[in-house]
Structure 1
Amino acid sequence: MLQNAFNRYINNFRGFSREIWILTFITFINRAGTMVLPFLSKYLHEDLHFSLSQVGTIMVFFGAGSMVGSWLGGKLSDTIGFYKIMIFSLFSSGILFILLQFMTSFIGLCIGMFVIMVISDMFRPAMFVSIGAYSKPENRTKALTLVRLAINLGFAAGPALGGLVIMLIGYKALFWIDGFTCIIAILIFWLKVKEKKKSTYADKENPGDVLTGSVFKDKIYWIFLLSTLLVGIMFFQLFNTIQIYHKHQFGLTEFQTGLLLTFNGVLVFFIEMPLVNYIERKQINKVKVITLGAFLMAISLYLLLFNTWAGILLIMMLFMTFAEMFSFPFSNGFAMSRAPKHQQGRYIAIFTMTYSFAQILSPKIGFTIVEKYGYQTNWIFMGSLGITAALLGYWVYNLVQKEKQTVKNQ
């Protein structure tokens, strides 16, 4: 019985190219080493003694840099190629993360975080393009899920190790670990994977086929992006207000917070790929799944209103994890499915920018509400965003059904 279950689980991971596995491996190394970002808000507030409002402002620069980087990465991937962008981005950001520990002034950190995130987040759209270039068309959604699993497995190891490193050595050690893992990961990629000129995301032979304005006329896509933005704002609370809430309300250590994030990563690692396979096999509508994810994320934030029992944090993380598994992989798939031929890169670039914009808004909105009205008000507000996102998802579903009916009748 156990052997059959294990074999079924392993079968979910068959059929990927060597390059996809290497990309997955270096993504894991990079993500496991990314220990600074999960604790950045705590480091700024507790170690450098910035106010919550100042932390929120620094995180706005963090998100703004991420947004510019996503746009640049998508643009440059189409002009000079994803391979060069990936190598430049990860190698340079590795060096910059090491240098970040020496910045302690408010202005310096605002500028430093912006520059680092511009360079670091050029990697994301380039990585999506690389998945398109190195995977078979029928395996693309699964390849995206595989790389997401590597991110989450690294995320499972990173925060717990990061919490231990903070307790035993201090925050400064995280910057060295983060920097060196970026550099090591991209050196492995450079040595093991050859550049592939042809990409399915851009038609190099017929560049005139790329219609620059079409994405801005896609009403359904922009409603979907608004829903995605609201889900992103809720999800990124996990890396700012929620972590500080752990300590203020329940007295949790960095290690205990890291263990909660590890619980998230472990669940995603074991459940997400079989879940994606099941949903695709049963041909369940992607938009319905994304809408359910938004609703579950709203519940996860509302659960934080129960503030007298620390066990609620575990239940909250369970709901947040399933919300993430329903929302994120299928949002990626829907974003690509909306794109006309040879415009997936453009659609994905705007999609990744939506999450970057959420990174700008999430800490600033969250910390401002917490400072002025308290944590409880923030959880009510954030949960309400989730209900709004679910309603937008339902609207998108109805519009897509009408669109299909119109096409069928033509």
Structure 2
Amino acid sequence: MKTLFNNYLNTFKGLSKEVWWLALITLINRAGTMVIPFLSLYLTKHLSFTLSDVGWIMSAFGLGSVIGSWLGGKLTDKIGYYKVMVFSLLTTGILFIALQFLNTFATFCLGIFLVMLVADMFRPAMFVALSAYSKQENKIRSVTLIRLAINLGFSAGPAIGGIIITSLSYGGLFWVDGITCMVATLVLINVLNPKKAKILDDVKTKSPKSAYSDKAFLIFLAAMVIFGVVFLQYFSTMPLYYKDAHHLNEFDIGIILGMNGFIIFVFEMPLIKWLENSNFTKSGLMLFGGILTGLSFIILNFTNWVGILIIGMLLMTFGEMIAFPFSNAFTMDRAKKGNQGEYMALYSIAFSVAHIFGHNAGMRMVDALGFDNTWYIITLLAALCVFLLFILRHYLNATKKRKEKIKKEEEREILWI
């Protein structure tokens, strides 16, 4: 047992001090956004908005996320990741506190749009910072550490939020959200100032390549949007499936969903460390992650046995653990050839777009077609994602061979001269 524990700890070794600080800042920030899980309850019970109103507010939420990610990427390339991160965290704190004073439909739509616009400017800037503070060989594990911080934050946030609502009210929730963002800002200013921190991989390209002209990256983005739509069903339609089709109660549903976070916390870092040392390519691993996630849906239609829900969750969790870190690392690698902020922004936007359409599409399909047919369609979407990743892998291999051929021809010409 002691050996296993030591081996587990060893998977975290070699990461820079700045990456650990960045993980702590992310943990504080994500745990702090505890308003989000209670937003629909707040809007319907506290402000008496209709479900239609809530739908439009969530659309404003998603639109703000998309524009914020894009703007964050642009500003990161213009003024640097540090300034964008400080502005985003501090301003988000102020906006969260102000949000509680908005009580009409129009003002709340505008308010949540502005909150998400400013809050999601942080994401591309954070990923560029992560790349700068990580050695090349540690980048994937650095991303994995940030994912662990995000998962811990999302796990702790709702629990703390529930306690605050019961003891203080919803108003207290907004205040705590705002203050935690400001605390994260203070930590960032004190420990991650580029003038003091040790930058390990500060990439500056003289003639940066636009992400929009990178064919391989555009294929990859299309695959990630589809993967996001598939993956998000586990956090919208799947809980309904557990309750309506298998008659599980809220406690049982919480246990199954909580299993996802627990497995990620325990197994993701060792798994990534092992895969990093293997001969698998990033595109091949993303493809495999997509296959596992697709299988997690199709197997649900094979049997009514309740244990199949556990198997489905395990398949999805391992698919997620493989696909997300390596897709992020793939983006970082491509970003070295161009505007890093632009690349990381588009990667974030892919999942923001999935949020806008994924939940709504899944709900509508379940309502119109039932769960079984919905899982067939979601599996087909996962297959389309895998197909695009297969095309990406083929394109990258062909590009690599073409470059090697050109290099050999150039070497022959030099020898001939």
TM-score of the two chains, using structure 1 as the length reference = 0.86
CA-CA distance at 1:47 after TM superposition: 6.4
Instruction: Quote the residue 1:57 is aligned against.
Output: 56
Say if 2:363 is the partner of 1:367.
Answer: yes
Instruction: Quote the residue 1:24 is aligned against.
Output: 23
Instruction: Quote the residue 1:188 is aligned against.
Output: 187
* Structure 1: segments with no counterpart, 5+ residues: none
CA-CA distance at 1:172 after TM superposition: 5.4
Summarize deviations over 1:182-201 as a string: whole Å, max 9, x none: 22222222223323497956
Summarize deviations over 1:106-156 as a string: whole Å, max 9, x none: 433332221111000000011011112222233222212211221122233
Distance 1:393 1:116 in 2: 34
Summarize deviations over 1:267-313 as a string: whole Å, max 9, x none: 11111111111111012121121112112222333455589676554
Distance 1:393 1:169 in 2: 48
Q: 2:380 aligns with which of 379, 384, 388?
A: 384
Say if 2:271 is the partner of 1:275.
Answer: yes
Say if 2:281 is the partner of 1:285.
Answer: yes
Amino acid at match of 1:89: S
Change (3 A) 1:240 1:393: same
Change (3 A) 1:43 1:294: farther
Instruction: Quote the residue 1:36 is aligned against.
Output: 35
Distance 1:274 1:226 in 2: 29
Distance 2:315 2:283 in 1: 19
Distance 2:100 2:373 in 1: 34
- Whether the aligned pair in 2 keeps the contact of 1:53 and 1:367 (CA below 8 Å) is no
Q: Which moved more, 1:267-276 or 1:237-246?
A: 237-246
Q: 2:208 aligns with which of 199, 207, 210?
A: 210
Distance 1:375 1:173 in 2: 38
Q: 1:352 aligns with which of 345, 348, 366?
A: 348
- Whether the aligned pair in 2 keeps the contact of 1:229 and 1:355 (CA below 8 Å) is yes
Summarize deviations over 1:192-249 as a string: whole Å, max 9, x none: 332349795663xx7x52234xx22322221111110011112223443444555556
- Whether the aligned pair in 2 keeps the contact of 1:67 and 1:118 (CA below 8 Å) is yes
> SS of the residue aligned with 1:209?
coil
Instruction: Quote the residue 1:151 is aligned against.
Output: 150
Amino acid at match of 1:362: G
Distance 1:224 1:367 in 2: 26
Distance 1:193 1:219 in 2: 34
CA-CA distance at 1:351 after TM superposition: 1.4
> SS of the residue aligned with 1:59?
helix
Amino acid at match of 1:333: A
Instruction: Quote the residue 1:131 is aligned against.
Output: 130
Change (3 A) 1:296 1:102: farther
Amino acid at match of 1:317: M
Change (3 A) 1:121 1:189: same
Summarize deviations over 1:332-376 as a string: whole Å, max 9, x none: 111222345353333222111111111211123223334444444
Q: Which moved more, 1:243-252 or 1:296-305?
A: 243-252
Q: 1:330 aligns with which of 319, 326, 331?
A: 326
CA-CA distance at 1:327 after TM superposition: 0.8
Change (3 A) 1:103 1:362: farther
Change (3 A) 1:81 1:237: same
Change (3 A) 1:335 1:199: same
Distance 1:256 1:116 in 2: 33
Identity of aligned residues (%): 44
Change (3 A) 1:394 1:237: same
Distance 1:179 1:69 in 2: 18
- Whether the aligned pair in 2 keeps the contact of 1:220 and 1:400 (CA below 8 Å) is yes
Instruction: Quote the residue 2:392 is aligned against.
Output: 396
- Superposed counterparts of 1:191-270, under 5 Å: 191-196=190-195, 203=204, 208-212=206-210, 215-243=211-239, 250=247, 252-253=249-250, 258-270=254-266
Distance 1:397 1:160 in 2: 41
Summarize deviations over 1:156-184 as a string: whole Å, max 9, x none: 33344445666777655543433332222
CA-CA distance at 1:66 after TM superposition: 0.8
Distance 2:188 2:254 in 1: 28
- Whether the aligned pair in 1 keeps the contact of 2:293 and 2:315 (CA below 8 Å) is yes
Distance 1:11 1:404 in 2: 34
Instruction: Quote the residue 1:71 is aligned against.
Output: 70
Q: Which moved more, 1:141-150 or 1:189-198?
A: 189-198
Distance 1:88 1:258 in 2: 35
Amino acid at match of 1:283: N
Change (3 A) 1:179 1:379: farther
Root-mean-square deviation over aligned CA pairs: 3.1
Q: Which moved more, 1:288-297 or 1:371-380?
A: 371-380
Change (3 A) 1:151 1:378: same
Change (3 A) 1:371 1:45: farther
- Superposed counterparts of 1:286-325, under 5 Å: 286-302=282-298, 312-325=308-321
TM-score of the two chains, using structure 2 as the length reference = 0.85
Q: How many residues align?
A: 403
Distance 2:403 2:241 in 1: 50
Q: Which moved more, 1:75-84 or 1:332-341?
A: 332-341
Q: Which moved more, 1:187-196 or 1:166-175?
A: 166-175
Distance 2:351 2:231 in 1: 10
Instruction: Quote the residue 2:11 is aligned against.
Output: 12
- Whether the aligned pair in 2 keeps the contact of 1:22 and 1:192 (CA below 8 Å) is yes
* Structure 2: segments with no counterpart, 5+ residues: 407-417
